Amino acid sequence: LAADIKVVVSADQPGPVIHRNIYGQFAEHLGTGIYEGMWVGPESKIPNVRGWRKDVVGALKDLKVPLVRWPGGCFADEYHWREGIGPRNKRPVKVNYNWGGVPENNAVGTHEFFDLVEQLGAEAYVNGNLGTGSAQEMAEWLEYMTAEGKSTLADMRRKNGRDKPFRVHYFAVGNEAWGCGGNMRPEYYADQYRQVTSFLRTPAHNRPIMIASGGHGQMTSWTEALSKGVPGVNAISHHEYTLPTGKWEGKGAAVGFPEAEWLSTLAHTQRVDEMIRKNVAVLDKNDPSKKIGFYFDEWGSWYDPEPGSNPGFLVQRNTLRDALLAAMHFHVFHNHAERVKMTNIAQMVNVLQAMIITSKDKLVLTPTYHAFKLYTPFQDATSLPVKVENNPVYKVDKLEMPGLSATAGRGKDGKLWVGLVNANATQAAELDLQVGTATPKSVKGQVLTAGAMDAQNELGKAPQVVPVAFEAQAVGGKLTIKLPAKSVVVVAVD
Ligand code: AHR
């Protein structure tokens, strides 16, 4: 007989705030992520506001996107900001060597990016170029964006249409310095960071949070080197992608995968938890006053490219599996809210685990979009401890993982919110919800599930993965929640 599953929320033990930037996004000059997907130019027949698609921006606003990271990624270390200002028809065309070798016409530059974040009501995260740039280039970019009084660079900004300085909330020095950002060693990068940041000046009230580019996966060496006496490190970034097979050669298909790959994909969030734990332990040792943030500024699924697509464009289908993967990442990030104050899913539109997929003037909202939407009440919520008692084991062949995952928080709206995932692809689960020792009266919210593991939303077809209303009432002193197989449920508790 299966033991009774109980989810117990400790509402009287408030933890750290779940920073809204945990729900941040990443938009790189890659494939059709920016060009076509979001930017169509002011002359386009596709309805737009100063070049940005109205439909895409509208859908992203509904997600309450808190922050956008730009212009890369690997692209950032080959991006020269001066090529992206001034009249668009005079901007140089370069080859985007990282992503498909296609022409990059620099139509989206600093002014266009800030227009996008301002339209979204989001914060700006600008990633500087350390790889092929210099301290001078980054310093001048910051002066161009933030200088207020007399300055030739500020005058240039004014001439290009922007009188008021841009608000730069976050600024990173390079990206993946261990790889595409220059194949450096952590100690060498740490020295570069010290040197470069000595010259990055802004008015004090427009000082970005400065981000040092950290490691990936299980690495802790970058966090170690960057948190030990390197001045001016406000946060260290870290990257980790989920590959169903765990191998870059043959990552696994986005659709039509076996159940074992469903499980291996979702189980990967346990590894993400481990990565954060290890790095936070290093930070706790080197930075006991907890001044340095740990930002997971690239995460998400990475599958074999869509057959027939340019492999450099990182096009992949987005299915129910991605929705569960996103929700389980949120749970992990909430658990580490004390240090993890920003994360950015890769990427916002048309690339990797996207929110939106566009085709000409049409768009489709992916299962990942709906997962983000379901969890909006957790933005800036106060985290609450939650325990899953008698968590059933989910097993396929030799692989296994805990079947259920849960999170809880007191929202800004004053409500108690609970997020639940049933990872089991074939078995529903029944659990009793308790708040301390009390039984709540009822829960109300939404469920995301579908018939197939790889159910997706496709253009021109009825969407298969959309949230549906969900509720449950207490009966006989018990509040039982029935989670369908392969589902995400987010509810407010009464
Ligand atoms: O998101 C795609 C790429 O993945 C980014 O450009 C890079 O930082 C990472 O390797």
Bond before 174 cis per omega within 30 degrees? no
Tokens (6 digits) for 152: 């030739």
Q: Rounded mean pLDDT of the chain?
A: 97
User: Using one digit for the tens of pLDDT, what is the confidence trace for 418-427?
Assistant: 999 999 999 9
One domain, residues 375 and 388: no
Whether 120 is covered by a domain: the verdict is yes
Sign of CA dihedral 74, 78, 80, 83: negative
Q: Taking the model in full, what pTM does it have? A: 0.97
Whether 270 is covered by a domain: the verdict is yes
- Cα–Cα separations (whole angstroms), residue 290 to 13, 340, 482: 20, 11, 40
User: Using one digit for the tens of pLDDT, what is the confidence trace for 234-283?
Assistant: 999 999 999 999 999 999 999 999 999 999 999 999 999 999 999 999 99
pLDDT at residue 162, rounded to an integer = 98
Cα–ligand 1 centroid distance for 67 (angstroms): 18
Return d(Cα 85, Cα 39) in angstroms, integer: 16
Return d(Cα 431, Cα 454) in angstroms, integer: 25
Q: Which of 353, 380, 407 corresponds to the end of one domain?
A: 380
Are the CB atoms for 338 and 293 separated by under 8 Å?
Answer: no
The b-or-e profile of 198-228 (16+ CB within 10 A means b, else e) is: eebebeeebbbbbbbbbbbeebbebbbbbbe
How many percent of the chain have pLDDT more than 90? 99
Is the pLDDT assigned to residue 3 strictly greater than 90? no
Mean predicted confidence (pLDDT) in 299-307: 98
Band (301; pLDDT cuts 50, 70, 90): very high
Band (1; pLDDT cuts 50, 70, 90): very low
Greatest C-alpha distance within the chain: 76
Whose Cα sits closest to atom 1 in ligand 1? 346
User: Using one digit for the tens of pLDDT, what is the confidence trace for 156-187?
Assistant: 999 999 999 999 999 999 999 999 999 999 99
User: Using one digit for the tens of pLDDT, what is the confidence trace for 67-114?
Assistant: 999 999 999 999 999 999 999 999 999 999 999 999 999 999 999 999
Which domain does 62 fall in, by range?
20-380
Which among 419, 392, 390, 416 has a CA at the least distance from the CA of 406?
Answer: 419
- The 8-class DSSP code of residue 19 comes to -
One domain, residues 301 and 392: no
One domain, residues 68 and 175: yes
Mean predicted confidence (pLDDT) in 115-120: 98
Measuring from each residue's beta carbon to the nearest atom of ligand 1, which residues come in under 6 Å? 28, 72-74, 175-176, 298, 346-347, 352
Whether 146 is covered by a domain: the verdict is yes
One domain, residues 48 and 30: yes
Cα–ligand 1 centroid distance for 20 (angstroms): 23
One domain, residues 130 and 153: yes
One domain, residues 215 and 360: yes
Whether 195 is covered by a domain: the verdict is yes
Whether 15 is covered by a domain: the verdict is no
Helix-helix angle 135-146:110-120, to 10 degrees: 50
User: Using one digit for the tens of pLDDT, what is the confidence trace for 214-223?
Assistant: 999 999 999 9
Q: Which of 322, 354, 380 corresponds to the end of one domain?
A: 380
Query: What is the tally of structural domains in the chain?
Result: 2
One domain, residues 213 and 119: yes
Testing ligand 1's pocket by substitution, the residue of 69, 180, 348 carrying the most ligand atoms inside 8 A of its CB is 180
One domain, residues 301 and 419: no
- Segments in 168-258 forming alpha helices (H): 186-197, 221-227
Testing ligand 1's pocket by substitution, the residue of 125, 175, 314 carrying the most ligand atoms inside 8 A of its CB is 175
Q: Which of 364, 380, 396 corresponds to the end of one domain?
A: 380
User: Using one digit for the tens of pLDDT, what is the confidence trace for 421-460?
Assistant: 999 999 999 999 999 999 999 999 999 999 999 999 999 9
One domain, residues 372 and 424: no
- Calculated CA dihedral for residues 186, 179, 372, 307, nearest 10 degrees: -160
pLDDT at residue 213, rounded to an integer = 98
**ipTM of the complex as predicted:** 0.99
Q: What is the CATH number of the domain that holds 400?
A: 2.60.40.1180
- Calculated CA dihedral for residues 286, 288, 293, 299, nearest 10 degrees: 70
Whose Cα sits closest to atom 3 in ligand 1? 73
Burial grade of 250 (CB within 10 A; 0-12, 13-18, 19 or more): exposed
Band (2; pLDDT cuts 50, 70, 90): low
One domain, residues 413 and 374: no
One domain, residues 336 and 418: no
Whether 376 is covered by a domain: the verdict is yes
- Segments in 161-258 forming alpha helices (H): 186-197, 221-227
Whether 217 is covered by a domain: the verdict is yes
Beginning with the edge strand found earlier in the chain, give each strand of the sheet holding 468-473 in spatial order: 382-383, 404-410, 416-422, 487-493, 442-448, 468-473
- Segments in 121-215 forming alpha helices (H): 135-146, 152-159, 186-197
Q: What is the CATH number of the domain that holds 99?
A: 3.20.20.80
State CA 168 to chain mean position distance: 19
Contacts of 84 (CB under 8 A, 6+ apart): 91, 106, 108, 109, 110, 112
One domain, residues 153 and 180: yes
